[in-house]
Amino acid sequence: MSRLAYLAIMNEMTPPPVLRQRKPDWIRVKAPMGAAFNETRALMRKLSLSTVCEEAACPNIGECWTKKHATMMILGDVCTRACAFCNVKTGMPRSVDPLEPQHVGEAVAELGLAHIVITSVDRDDLPDGGASQFVKVIEAIRSSAPQTTIEILTPDFRNKHEAAVEAIIAARPDVYNHNLETVPRLYPTIRPGARYYASLRLLESVKKLDPSIFTKSGVMVGLGEQRLEVHQVMDDMRSAGIDFLTMGQYLQPTPKHAPVIDFVTPATFNAYAAIARAKGFLLVAATPLTRSSYHAGDDFAKLRAAREASLAKA
């Protein structure tokens, strides 16, 4: 067989590469800069804290850090999972830092935050998945900044979520967030270490343990999901009593991650938001740049106002 014939056969057998799509104008953001941005970054470094803003390459970091808003990531910066959408490092994490809760409390007080979001990497190596560290961080913030409201964004605590959630709920965060991320059909390729219905049950258990705590969850679009699949996720969330839905455009962190299948238009986001409101969510944030903790403080105030309005009508 000639070399040309061999190459022709190989070209037919090899699937074409998925080309990275060019970002549309509505997804572009300004580069981070300015004194306030640098001060926030310097404080995180001084206290040896990680932020999901940096680790997950959030497109809103410039806006949020300029306003001295940050989502702090506890339990280190190495995750035991390898989700196809996530830019956080994967591997064997270091031991838990016992000073981390104190440092988080100090940072919240120094930034003068009215609302703080605390998230973490997955820590499948720990007996409780890291739940006890969430509790210690909540307690440290309550001590150093008692007026600050606290939102947590936890992993799924795979195979240990009942005891983990009970411990965290006893510490009384104001908002409990856990993201479903995508539709069930895409879990094997996008979120292979997790189980869709396990995540739903976790959020449902929060509401059963303490109905006064707001529950929140988010999904990414642009990964190849169908609209009716997204509508079904909304229905599943409402069945689990979830109060707040966030929805944003998936952006591919590196060529090694899952590709963007399509860039969802702002008009489609508006349509999703209208459908979600009709399904009964207290609050919906659905735009291309929406992320779990984007405008979290303002959204918490809206959540409280929406609940008060709902109770007044009852």
- For 160-172, write each residue's pLDDT tens digit: 878 999 999 999 9
Mean pLDDT of 131-155: 96
Separation of alpha carbons 43 and 68, rounded Å: 10
CATH C-level class of 37-313: alpha beta
Q: Which residues pair with 72 in a beta bridge?
A: 51, 118
Vertex 194, ends 172 and 86: CA angle to 5°?
Answer: 90
Q: Does the structure show a pLDDT above 70 at 229?
A: yes
Question: How many beta carbons lie within 10 A of that of residue 256, not counting itself?
Answer: 8
| Widest Cα–Cα separation across the chain | 80
Question: With bands split at pLDDT 50, 70 and 90, how would you rate the model's confidence at 9?
Answer: very low
Collect all residues with Cβ–Cβ distance below 8 Å to 229 and sequence separation of at least 6. 183, 184, 185
| pLDDT over 80 at 257, yes or no | yes
With 80 as the cut, is the pLDDT of residue 22 above it?
no
- Asked which of 3-12, 93-102, 117-126, 127-136 is least confident by mean pLDDT, the reply is 3-12
Q: Which two tokens stand for residue 95?
A: 């031991």
- Portion of the chain with pLDDT greater than 90, in percent: 65
- Coil/strand/helix, residue 32: coil
Summarize the chain as % helix, strand, coil (round to 5): 45, 15, 45
Q: Where are the domains of the chain?
A: 37-313
DSSP-derived letter for residue 19 is P
